[in-house]
Amino acid sequence: MDLSPTLSRFVLHWGEMGTRWGVNRTVAQIHALLYITGRPMHAEEIADTLGVARSNVSTSLRELQGWNLVRLVHLSGDRRDHFETSTDVWELLRTVVRERQRREIAPTIQVLSELLADPAISKDPADAKRRMRETLELLETLTAWSDEMLKLDTDTLTKVLRLGARIKKLLDGAGPRGARGKASELPAAHLLGP
């Protein structure tokens, strides 16, 4: 498959961004290719399109499957394995956040909890214990918050993310005033408008 210059640039950029996010360039490019084409592809087609070795494609597809970003599909009349990804960017975001939490945040929470529960910590400086406790509280709070956000339907999640500074105004009671009253007296629904 020949990619247009625009699609090729998208795939190449996604690969570059992947390396900045700690993801192998080919892994990110394969995901970008499956996402932007929006259709299942077999490994040989992926290798030919990206100009990478078939073995590299196989390894990368396994990694993407491990992240739950790519799934194996079979097409009628074709015995080869094909691979596809979601074309819903919000579903992809949810998947990446869940996987990052599972792989990175959850183990850190576990280690911090174990360290803080270990009686040997009593010999360490109080400031070090405080910093570990604060880090644990932060990670637990972020995890709880992101878990709640991931449960929201896409329309609601989009509105929440667009609220931005309006949330602070609501919490500070410094929101819109006048005939509508103080922000603290307003129903939160007014913030979800366009």
State how far the Cα of 54 lies from the Cα of 41, in Å rounded to an integer: 13
Rounded to an integer, the average pLDDT of 133-158 is: 94
State how far the Cα of 91 lies from the Cα of 157, in Å rounded to an integer: 12
Of 180 and 168, the structure prediction assigns the larger pLDDT to 168
State how far the Cα of 13 lies from the Cα of 28, in Å rounded to an integer: 9
Of 158 and 175, the structure prediction assigns the larger pLDDT to 158
Q: Write out pLDDT tens, residues 83-118.
A: 999 999 999 999 999 999 999 999 999 999 999 999
Of 178 and 141, the structure prediction assigns the larger pLDDT to 141
In this structure, what token pair is assigned to residue 159? Answer: 């509105």
Angle between helices 25-37 and 43-50 (to 10 degrees): 110
Tell me the torsion sign for CA atoms 115, 118, 120, 123.
positive
pTM beyond cutoff 0.85: no
Q: Which CATH class is domain 5-84?
A: mainly alpha
